[in-house]
Structure 1
């Protein structure tokens, strides 16, 4: 782990900053659209669907900007422990790097939510914003509905991700496909579970709100769904081999964290990493 940190800490920093940027944008945009004092909210007071549509479109652009940024291309722009887990299961990221990715993602999400809380406390905590926590809908069997919804959207996202990365025609467009899917999810699925897909993002906002009742749900459903999608995809798909775990689409390059199935994953610590 220490050798991996010395060798690849820039990649981990990119992951932490990527999810921090995502959480910051989600918080700021939600306040802009939902806080009663916002001029945008006042202009669209009875249009919850339209406001969610605008949020979805904006967050789609945020996600695409992360995926196709130089730092996003460097780390792969996972910004999600469930995505990293799936690529680790595929053998496209080494175990020490996957662990550091997860830690960086959690730290980035918590740090960004705390920054919003410290700088925009009463606005971020307003009942219309609620620290942008993800929580089940207030319905009978709400936890079960939210779990099922998170499982389905996470499974579909990972399947689309893997299919597009395995396609010569689509792999360079993977980030945009995921961004479009995110926009649709925010519009239609948010009322069921808050639309998480991301355990780290959920934990970050939960820490800011001091609200942990349903966090377990978001740490089980998305990782389990993406894991299952990965296993089934490997079993049934017989197309082009996946080159790496970079969401923008890539081919392995010297010094990359990602490797081909035919390559032996490096062991840590090794002589090269220790220098």
Structure 2
């Protein structure tokens, strides 16, 4: 079990370090751009899935863990340890970025609160976007990595491309979290917790709704 938890902690650390690090460095140097940030999130997910899927299942996302549990694809005894490892990895990544880049800014607001996900419009708008974005992501995960007839060798590519695509078009509106841990890490370390609940509740609801749709509509074709 310790190998699985280590993989989840390390994988989530790398995801948040690379993704939110790209946001922070773009704020500092204006050298990456929105498309570059979206591609960073997509590319790192592809790399992490192919690196750790055989160890832990490559969740790196509490919403995914909860959705797999709700589907009966994950042991309920491992849910809390997995989520704890994921959140710990995210917080450690944000702490590392704060330490490494602190000389480049005087206030965390200058670097998007360490790459936190913050609504650019109304809270309801971001809630709706995050629910739908995570629903789409979880449907892709289930259809490419869980379905019995899926070509699972390409699951990492399908999931990573989905993350990159959704980050590219929805990032400017919501931050395109799709992942509570990815939002919790920067929020806790930066101290900006104002809208954090949106990125926890909406993403978990979206993932679990997708798992229900998959079970009722698609899995019967296994």
Displacement of 1:229 in angstroms is: 1.0
Question: How far apart, CA to CA, are the structure 2 residues paired with 1:80 and 1:27?
Answer: 15
Conserved? CA contact 2:23–2:115, under 8 Å: yes
Report how far residue 160 of structure 1 moved. 1.4
CA-based RMSD: 1.7
Measure, in 2, the Cα distance between the counterparts of 1:123 and 1:80: 29
Q: Number of matched residues?
A: 218
2:27 corresponds in structure 1 to: 34
Q: Does 1:74 align with 2:55?
A: yes
Where does residue 156 of structure 1 map in the other structure? 136
Q: State the Cα distance separating 1:130 from its structure 2 match.
A: 2.7
* Alignment partner, residue 7 of structure 2: 14
| 1:76-115 map, 5 Å | 76-115=57-96
- In structure 2, what is the Cα distance between the partners aligned to 1:16 and 1:155? 23
Query: Is the 8 Å Cα contact of residues 203 and 215 (structure 1) preserved in structure 2?
Result: yes
Aligned to 2:44: 62
Residues 39, 91 of structure 1: alpha-carbon distance in 2 compared, 3 angstrom cutoff: closer
- Cα displacement (A) at 1:27: 2.9
Superimposed CA distance per residue, residues 95-130 of structure 1 (whole angstroms, 9 cap, x where no aligned partner): 121211011011111111111112212436352443
Rate the CA distance shift 1:117–1:87 in 2: closer, same or farther, 3 A.
Answer: same
Given that residues 206 and 212 in structure 1 are in contact (C-alpha distance below 8 angstroms), is that contact kept between their aligned partners in structure 2?
yes
User: Is 2:113 the partner of 1:133?
Assistant: no
Give the distance between the partners of 1:219 and 1:54, measured in 2 at CA.
25
- Structure having the higher Rg: 1
Structure 1 runs (4+) deviating above 6 angstroms are none
Residue of structure 2 in register with 1:175 after alignment: 156
Aligned counterparts of 2:130 and 2:83: Cα–Cα separation in 1: 19
1:157 shift after superposition? 0.8
* Pairwise CA distance, 1:147: 0.1
The CA distance in 1 between the partners of 2:195 and 2:12, in whole Å, is: 21
1:48 is aligned to: none
CA shift for structure 1 position 169: 4.5
Name the CA distance, whole Å, in 2 between partners of 1:73 and 1:223: 24
Q: For 1:38-57, what aligned pairs fall within 5 Å after superposition?
A: 38=29, 40=31, 51-57=33-39
Partners in 1 of 2:70 and 2:22 — Cα distance?
34
Equivalent of residue 116 in structure 1, options 79, 87, 97: 97
- Secondary structure, in 3 states, of the residue corresponding to 2:178? coil
Distance 2:26 2:111 in 1: 10
For residues 13 and 185 of structure 2, the distance between their equivalents in structure 1, rounded to whole angstroms, comes to 9
Unaligned runs of 5+ in 1: 1-7, 42-50, 241-275
Aligned 8 A contact 2:20 2:116 in 1:
no
Q: Whose helix proportion is higher, 1 or 2?
A: 2
Structure 2 segments unaligned to the other structure (5+ residues):
none
Report the 3-state secondary structure (helix = DSSP H, G, I; strand = E; otherwise coil) of the residue aligned with 1:168: coil
Q: Distance in 2 between matches of 1:156 and 1:67?
A: 18
